[in-house]
Structure 1
């Protein structure tokens, strides 16, 4: 049975630290490459999903809240505004699926269509 020496232990530790440093640089480079796309915001969309027209894009002060909850992004289902909000971790929620965060505004619109089950989206009225 071989016995580990201090020299072997230090060699293994140095190798592990070097590996982690390389992995960190690769992860940093990947994050920096993705940063311009994230800074640009979610891509606009306009499609028919399960028979409903869903649209999303940068808001220009329109809608009841002026788009401030959605980070300047608005989502519509059949022309009616779906109130959306971007969470601190980058996920999105709406008034319909508030406890089920999704990755993109398009995904939040699709999830809302599924939850509506054919019902009309009625405007949110606040007092």
Structure 2
């Protein structure tokens, strides 16, 4: 009777794992069927993100003693109509990600649901400091 060595067991496990991984990536995309409970049936945007982004509503409020404002901007970038966020009248550079979340130069490693949340997080992060212009 042969005994299973560590080397052959590790090799067999690695082969099985590689086969499962390749099988998962090689599944054919068949014709679309009826929508299921987890299927997103919304129309696809021209960018191919699977959703049609909506423009956030303007806001103007005081948060922790700072005035934060947000509104659609007049300039259009390659991502569509822009959105301007200001803290005490100074522009906070914000960007919308492909998944619909927002980031800013102050919190560029953390995503937020909208520009108001980005502005509030920036106020907290600034701890009273003023924004400086982006060069």
**Distance of aligned partners of 1:114 and 1:68 in 2 relative to their CA distance in 1, 3 Å threshold:** farther
Deviation at 1:122, TM superposition (A): 1.1
> Is residue 124 of structure 1 aligned with residue 134 of structure 2?
yes
Deviation at 1:70, TM superposition (A): 8.4
Match in the other structure for 1:54: 68
Question: For structure 2, which runs of at least 5 residues remain unmatched after alignment?
Answer: 1-33, 44-51
Question: Is contact 2:92-2:105 (8 Å) kept?
Answer: yes
Q: TM-score normalized by structure 2?
A: 0.60
Q: Deviations over 1:18-71 (max 9, x none)?
A: xx956358x64xx57xxxxx644101100000000000000012xxxx766785
Larger Rg: 2
Question: Is contact 1:46-1:54 (8 Å) kept?
Answer: yes
Query: How many equivalent residue pairs?
Result: 94
**Distance of aligned partners of 1:94 and 1:70 in 2 relative to their CA distance in 1, 3 Å threshold:** farther
Match in the other structure for 1:93: 103
> Is residue 78 of structure 1 aligned with residue 96 of structure 2?
no
Question: Is contact 1:83-1:94 (8 Å) kept?
Answer: yes
Give the RMSD, CA atoms, in angstroms.
2.6
Three-state SS of the structure 2 residue aligned to 1:43 is coil
**Higher helix fraction (1 or 2):** 1
**Distance of aligned partners of 1:70 and 1:55 in 2 relative to their CA distance in 1, 3 Å threshold:** farther
Three-state SS of the structure 1 residue aligned to 2:74 is coil
Q: TM-score normalized by structure 1?
A: 0.64
Question: For structure 1, which runs of at least 5 residues remain unmatched after alignment?
Answer: 1-19, 33-37
**Higher strand fraction (1 or 2):** 2
